[in-house]
Structure 1
Amino acid sequence: MAHSHSAADGNRSRLLAAFLVTAIYMVAEVVGGLLSGSLALLADAGHMLTDAAALLVALMAVQFAQRRPDKRHTFGMLRLTTLAAFVNALALLVITVLIVWEAIQRFTHPQPVAGGMMLVIAVGGLLANILSFWLLHRGSGEKNLNVRAAALHVLGDLLGSVGAIAAALIIMFTGWTPIDPILSVLVSMLVLRSGWMLIKESTHELLEGAPQHIDADKLQRSLTLNIPEVRNVHHVHLWQVGEKPVITLHVQVIPPRDHDALLQRIHHYLHENYQIEHATVQIEYQRCDGDDCDLHWIQGESHSHHGHHH
């Protein structure tokens, strides 16, 4: 446990630092975008707003994940982090639509843009994003969906700042202002892609999908192959809470001399090979004859015939 606490504290301080950098620069970009008349800067600021929200939500999630489980939330508040990533992704999609809509308006009615001012602010934005991205990419954040979500936002933002710099240079040298809305649309497409990926991942987890990296069929086979007493593995349910995979399964075994030692070996095997710390294993001695022995999941799975296995 000590390890995960230090990791969480590390995540928290990195998220807080990145949040402050992003929020402060976002305000600068809004002001700069309004003063210079640049939509690309406003697109980037909109993007930074979702970044700041993403970072704030991730911070809250890290905070809640630390809370101890209680009677009403037996897993603690870990699922909140997934919900946070989901809300965050929806916000990205809404902002994308708004920016594209504004860009279409600008094509029909071009607006003057102050290139020099736009350039200065875009370069500042790029530096702020590089700093945030560096902060988020150190340490154990890679596995955490929220830190990853936040880093994704910032990465899209980095590209947005590069776009704004390019647009500013083109406007300064050629005076061709349509480049500004064109680039704001390109930035939006990048945002859209990362938002879509996030929605897919977080929805999968909210719908109790199995963790992407664990193959339930393979797990059943490998348990049967690697632990000699195990004859059959069925009723496997696999899901994920926060970053933690959770499993329940029924294991039909040859009656062992030492029941507890066998149970311990099964737990140890799941932990070593699949990093599953939370496993509920029901050991059965009779052959499992029901139709549901081969299936992973049966609607209204009857628990009456499990009674006499105990």
Structure 2
Amino acid sequence: MAHNHSHSHHGDDANRSRLLAAFAVTALFMVAEVIGGVLSGSLALLADAGHMLTDTAALLMALMAMQFAQRKPNSRHTFGLLRLTTLAAFVNAIALLVITLLIVWEAVIRFYHPQPVEGGLMMGVAIAGLLANLLSFWLLHRGGGEKNLNVRAAALHVLGDLLGSVGAIAAALIIIFTGWTAADPILSVLVSLLILRSAWTLLRESLHELLEGSPQALDADKLARTLVSSIPEVRNVHHVHLWQVGEKPVITLHVQVIPPYDHDALLQRIHQFLHQHYQIEHATVQMEYQRCDTADCQLTLSTQQQHHSHHHH
């Protein structure tokens, strides 16, 4: 399929309309599953609706991220509002943990006091849910969404959700053929474990970003070492701060360099290095150098070395 991977508005709009369509389908069927779950008395359907809520939220956050990424930063929010999506992810994760607890709690009660479940209705709603998931997945997967992290994450969510619907269908089949209603709470617990997994991942990642943690793929110490070994003029790298806003890594660092022939060219090389090897577009580099011809400088150098060896022992 020929699709240009340029950062064109056309691609963004196509992504957005796909996300919007998938969001509408998922939200609609989430409501349908809640109603179906209440009418049929099936907890597994309610659990699957809870799982669909994780998708709806994931899709909504992907849409938000696209929206905020377009807003220009201003003097009050110099990074724009990209962190809002991270905050939304955090709140969403906590809400999902609460939903999981409620479902498990209800399942335990129902296991000891079985409730009548309308198997046929449950079956119909579960199959409809499965089809809705397939539709969302297809919507998200066609076109150039592979490059957009949010779209990819949302597609994974929807795929995980297929398992939830399959669980509800399995419970319905057991109830229709054997009349064993305990199958419903048991499978609802299994489905809520799926919710728990995505909630936990979301909580961990959003909290890491909110606490200014460095991006998962980047190691600040290793980056400093690589920079020293790759650019001969760079002697030492310190005060490295590495964090993430939205999906963009941001870095500030101090480099001690041998006084260069051309200051700007060296700075340019450092920036290029960070961009090529680490995809860091936003770097603030403070260059420091001291011409060492005075006795005073030799003194500071030797004390620095002593200080270092002192440090190591």
Residue 212 in structure 1 maps to residue 234 in structure 2: no
Between 1:124-133 and 1:68-77, the stretch displaced more is: 124-133
Alpha-carbon distance in 2 for matches of 1:189, 1:220? 40
RMSD: 2.4
Cα displacement (A) at 1:157: 2.2
What is aligned with 2:13? 9
What is aligned with 1:181? 185
1:39-96 CA distances to partner (integer Å, 9 max, x unpaired)?
1111112222343233223322321121000000001111112112212211211111
CA 1:207–1:8: 2 relative to 1, 3 Å = farther
| Aligned residues of 1:143 and 1:243 also touching (Cα < 8 A) | no
1:81-134 CA distances to partner (integer Å, 9 max, x unpaired)?
211221221121111111111112211221111212211111111111122233
Give the counterpart letter for 1:280 in structure 2.
T
Unaligned runs of 5+ in 2: 1-5, 293-299, 309-313
Between 1:42-51 and 1:180-189, the stretch displaced more is: 42-51
Give the counterpart letter for 1:102 in structure 2.
E
Alignment size in residue pairs: 292
Q: Secondary structure at the match of 1:255?
A: coil
Residue 164 in structure 1 maps to residue 176 in structure 2: no
Task: Spell out structure 1 runs of 4+ moving beyond 6 A.
Answer: 287-291
Alpha-carbon distance in 1 for matches of 2:9, 2:242? 25
CA 1:223–1:4: 2 relative to 1, 3 Å = farther
Larger Rg: 2
Alpha-carbon distance in 2 for matches of 1:246, 1:4? 24
What is aligned with 1:112? 116
What is aligned with 1:308? none
Alpha-carbon distance in 1 for matches of 2:280, 2:187? 46
1:164-221 CA distances to partner (integer Å, 9 max, x unpaired)?
1101111111111110011001111111111111111111111000111111122111
Alpha-carbon distance in 2 for matches of 1:224, 1:279? 16
Between 1:243-252 and 1:57-66, the stretch displaced more is: 57-66
Percent of aligned pairs sharing the same letter: 77
Between 1:252-261 and 1:147-156, the stretch displaced more is: 147-156
What is aligned with 2:236? 232
| Aligned residues of 1:149 and 1:198 also touching (Cα < 8 A) | no
Q: 2:94 aligns with which of 90, 94, 109?
A: 90
Normalising by the residue count of structure 2, what TM-score does the alignment of the two structures yield?
A: 0.86
Give the counterpart letter for 2:76 in structure 1.
R
| Aligned residues of 1:205 and 1:240 also touching (Cα < 8 A) | yes
Give the counterpart letter for 2:197 in structure 1.
R
What is aligned with 1:221? 225
What is aligned with 1:25? 29
CA 1:202–1:6: 2 relative to 1, 3 Å = farther
Q: 2:253 aligns with which of 220, 240, 249?
A: 249
Q: 2:196 aligns with which of 192, 200, 224?
A: 192
What is aligned with 1:53? 57
Q: How does 1:270-281 map to 2 (within 5 A)?
A: 270-281=274-285
| Aligned residues of 2:119 and 2:176 also touching (Cα < 8 A) | yes
Alpha-carbon distance in 2 for matches of 1:28, 1:228? 64
Unaligned runs of 5+ in 1: 296-310
Alpha-carbon distance in 2 for matches of 1:99, 1:149? 25
1:124-149 CA distances to partner (integer Å, 9 max, x unpaired)?
111111222333345345663x5455
Cα displacement (A) at 1:35: 2.1
Alpha-carbon distance in 1 for matches of 2:153, 2:108? 29
Residue 79 in structure 1 maps to residue 71 in structure 2: no
Cα displacement (A) at 1:154: 2.5
Cα displacement (A) at 1:242: 0.6
What is aligned with 2:297? none
Residue 66 in structure 1 maps to residue 81 in structure 2: no
Q: Secondary structure at the match of 1:154?
A: helix
Normalising by the residue count of structure 1, what TM-score does the alignment of the two structures yield?
A: 0.87
CA 1:219–1:6: 2 relative to 1, 3 Å = farther
Alpha-carbon distance in 1 for matches of 2:241, 2:267? 18
